[in-house]
Chain A
Amino acid sequence: EAGVAQSPRYKIIEKRQSVAFWCNPISGHATLYWYQQILGQGPKLLIQFQNNGVVDDSQLPKDRFSAERLKGVDSTLKIQPAKLEDSAVYLCASSLNIAGAGDTQYFGPGTRLTVL
């Protein structure tokens, strides 16, 4: 079974530029998550999709971050414009069932973003 795929693996941009990350979850997984992990900290949930609807985006900085999940499969996370404090690893995860079932979340390798 293929795992969660993410691209790019690394990205370096200047502040105020835009950047987009892509995630392909495990086939058939209904729920998709984007996390931000700042160096030395645990991951923090940014947004959670169930199929193509948003379940929780309470910690997404909506003035600069946006995310979509087209057709309930792939997802993109965009930052526009980026700030220095956005430097982090962005992790995508997926789980089989709907939110609240306590299912295992499977994580991708992450995209390491550096904002200069």
Chain B
Amino acid sequence: SQQGEEDPQALSIQEGENATMNCSYKTSINNLQWYRQNSGRGLVHLILIRSNEREKHSGRLRVTLDTSKKSSSLLITASRAADTASYFCATDDQGGKLIFGQGTELSVKP
């Protein structure tokens, strides 16, 4: 069963704008990870945030985690056409098993 649910399912923005994707989950987690998947390719790990962290940055990426609301957000600043991809959140239970959401399809137009 899917643990995470991403919102929105699809997002279309212009290059240079910021993109925000949200993820909600149901059960307690060890950590939450965000992955990117380009068309026809495997997933690439973007960032991991642990359950005791509230915010994390990596380049143009900013991830927040609110364990009280069981939600996370991924912000991509100053988006580029190359950021066009599907973005998935994945929650990690104590056993290291990743449960992925349905994904947000991001389209960045030049």
Question: Is A101 a contact of B102 with CB atoms below 8 Å?
Answer: no
CB-based A-B contact count at 8 angstroms: 64
Task: Say whether A102 faces chain B, with CB atoms less than 8 Å apart.
Answer: yes
Q: Mark A58-95, 1 if CB is under 8 A from B, else 0.
A: 00000000000000000000000000000000010101
Mostly, the A contact residues are loop
* In the bound complex, CA of A106 to CA of B31 (Å): 16
Q: What's the tally of chain A residues with a CB closer than 8 Å to chain B?
A: 28
* Chain-A contact segment, one of B14-22, B54-62, B67-75, B88-96: B88-96
Bound state CA distance, A99 and B93, in angstroms?
10
Q: Is A24 an interface residue (CB 8 A)?
A: no
Q: Is B25 an interface residue, CB under 8 A from the partner?
A: no
Provide the bound-state CA to CA distance between A43 and B97, in Å: 12
Known: A42-B88, A42-B102, A42-B103. A100 touches B42 (CB 8 A): no
A107 within 8 A of B: yes
Which residue of the partner chain B has the closest CB to A56?
B97
**CA separation between A29 and B3, bound complex, in Å?**
26
Chain B positions near chain A (C-beta within 8 angstroms): 2, 4, 30-31, 33, 35, 41-45, 48, 50, 88, 90, 92, 94-103
